[in-house]
Amino acid sequence: MASLYAGIDWSEKLNDLAVVDRTGQLVASGRFEATPAGVREVLKVLSGLRASNSFSRKAVPIAIEASRGLLVSALQQHGQPVVPIHPATVARYRGRINPGNRKKSDAGDCLLLANILRTDGHLHRPLHRSSDHANAIGALTRAQLRAVRTRQYHYLQLRAQLRQVHPAAVQAWATMEDRLLRPEAREIIALAPTSGTAARLTRRQIRAALERGGRTRLLDAETERLHALFREPVLRNPAALEDALGQGVLSTLQFVNVACQNVECATDAAIGLFLQHPQSEIYLSFPGIGPLTGARLLGELGDDPARFPTGKGMAAYAAARPFTWASGSSRTVMHRRISANKHLAAYGHHWAFATLTKSKECRAY
């Protein structure tokens, strides 16, 4: 058991530090900036607390309301144990101490964080120490996920605009993979963003656009299909309004093209880094896991072998273990939604469906 406990209330500019002993007595406090000099100042304060001859600042855990960021990373790089505590948990502790006062105080919160470790430190786990390689994979996979969500946002905007000015384009690729995100679809929409311009397309123009989009199979059949579809009568706006709406489609299409390119770059980078990791072969050995899903799982779980002492803990973290609520004579078992990693839970959901085509045992289950 540690003899000293520290808490940091972080902010964009100044960060507050408080250190208490086993009795809850404040033994050190201060304010520092999130700079290299500020971090050295914190470490100097901790090193100056000579609780015993064998004292080491690395034995002082630091509680903070964050699990990521430059300050957390700097403390970990200097070997300082960091214990992330959720802000909602801190708010509950704050209300327990003073129910009538709901106002937040930076100096009071860093002292509260230190006392949380002093009284209930066994209930909060230190931040795991994954390798830089695994942390980089995690950062890339989250960036890739943000790029996917941005692409989906612009895709929905494009689809909504096409429904008003070029409904045949929405139907043209509705049953195909990626739909309007297909390169060939984007090439043709860029050539003809409205029903009027699409109806005037020649077979040669459609075929050339398909080739620019990378299509190599059944070019003649696809050209005839689109040529006939675009010439079917549809409801149309007045010419001036249709041209204006078409310009809006082209503007949104540019965002879609950039978003698609960002997704491809982020995906390639994440997969490339994942395949260089020593544990990549382990993930790829599971049915239904490809390079991207494996990279996402490794990025969220990390490669610290001591992070999850039991499989039950990992399953709970991935929301794959049910939560039991019991009070008196009532007992309810429900899906775990709290104390879980929402990204990891989503990846596990996709993985479960992928195993249906790759594993007979999973499909039978």
Q: Per the confidence metrics, is the pTM higher than 0.95?
A: no
| Pairwise CA distance, residues 175 & 245, whole Å | 25
Rg of the chain over Cα atoms, rounded to whole angstroms, equals 28
- Render pLDDT for 76-88 as a digit per residue (tens, 0 to 9): 999 899 999 988 8
- Render pLDDT for 332-358 as a digit per residue (tens, 0 to 9): 888 777 778 889 989 988 898 888 887
Supply 38's token pair.
């500020």
Q: What is the pLDDT of residue 118?
A: 93
The 3-state DSSP class for residue 31 equals strand
Strand partners, 18: 7, 29
- In the chain, the DSSP E strands lie at 4-9, 14-21, 26-33, 62-64, 82-84, 323-327, 330-334
CB atoms within 10 A of CB 212: 15
Helix (H) or strand (E) holding 228: helix 219-230
CB atoms within 10 A of CB 312: 11
DSSP for 59-110 reads: GS-EEES-SSSHHHHHHHHTT--EEE--HHHHHHHHHHH-TT-----HHHHH
| Pairwise CA distance, residues 144 & 283, whole Å | 19
Whether pLDDT at 57 is above 80: yes
The fraction of the chain above a pLDDT of 70, given in percent, is: 98
Q: What is the pLDDT of residue 101?
A: 62
Q: What is the pLDDT of residue 186?
A: 96
Whether pLDDT at 331 is above 80: yes
**What is the pLDDT averaged over residues 11-21?**
90
- Render pLDDT for 291-301 as a digit per residue (tens, 0 to 9): 999 999 999 99
Please provide the CATH number assigned to the domain covering 4-127. 3.30.420.10
**What is the pLDDT averaged over residues 28-36?**
91
**What is the pLDDT averaged over residues 222-240?**
94
- Render pLDDT for 168-184 as a digit per residue (tens, 0 to 9): 999 999 999 999 999 99
Query: At 253, is the pLDDT very low, low, confident or very high (cuts 50, 70, 90)?
Result: very high
